[in-house]
Structure 1
């Protein structure tokens, strides 16, 4: 996504009041799966993500990405986004894991997806990230979630990492 301002920086200050008015008119629901907050770097407590003020803070405050990756307690990370930036960053926070980026700007989308699925398969990942839990109940599966501008949040769901 091309943007005219650096999100999570002082350059966002001029739009915060108007953004707060807009986001305050929205209706939020509690997530149905655990969500890691990039504002706190921890699993979101009930009420946090339904507070319009949270989303205003998210635009301006620093991203706690490394803390969020650690909070996932996962060993498999799949980045679904425009590039591989977060995959590379996540590797700095987890010593032993499988890191796969689904999209690559220099490759056809279908080919990139098939390559990502193949890489996951060769690492023994057999679980679909579309299900909420695993029969074995081991580990967490984290997925990127839309956020206010950067798209760098993660959703974590219980699952069999391998």
Structure 2
């Protein structure tokens, strides 16, 4: 079972219905409302679908009410919480280490290895840099976060 199928299965187990939907606007990739996630039929890759589904499930777990109007600070905060939830769900610190150990050397290779889009990876890196600062020591590794970049260093004792 791939990562998308696992996430779809988790959603179904939580009572969430996932439907493919042709949104009128090409800017809308997904939408969560009352236990249903609508995913745009225009998404072209499994990675895109996975990232959108993760964010919409983030709304299920973290948001309340109608947050479509982004002029509200409260709505922007809820949007950010949903994105953080999706970043943590799809790429944890161990994911960066696994990509390093599999010799991924750039954003494209890392995103491909992790099954996400490059933009989702960059957004995750930037969110983790905001959360952890420029680096974090994790197990026997140092994970360095830069704007749109990540570097993993293995520590030897």
Q: TM-score, normalised by structure 2?
A: 0.25
Q: By percentage of residues, which structure has more helix?
A: 2
What's the TM-score, normalizing by structure 1? 0.25
Does 1 or 2 have the higher relative contact order (CA < 8 Å, sep 6+)? 1
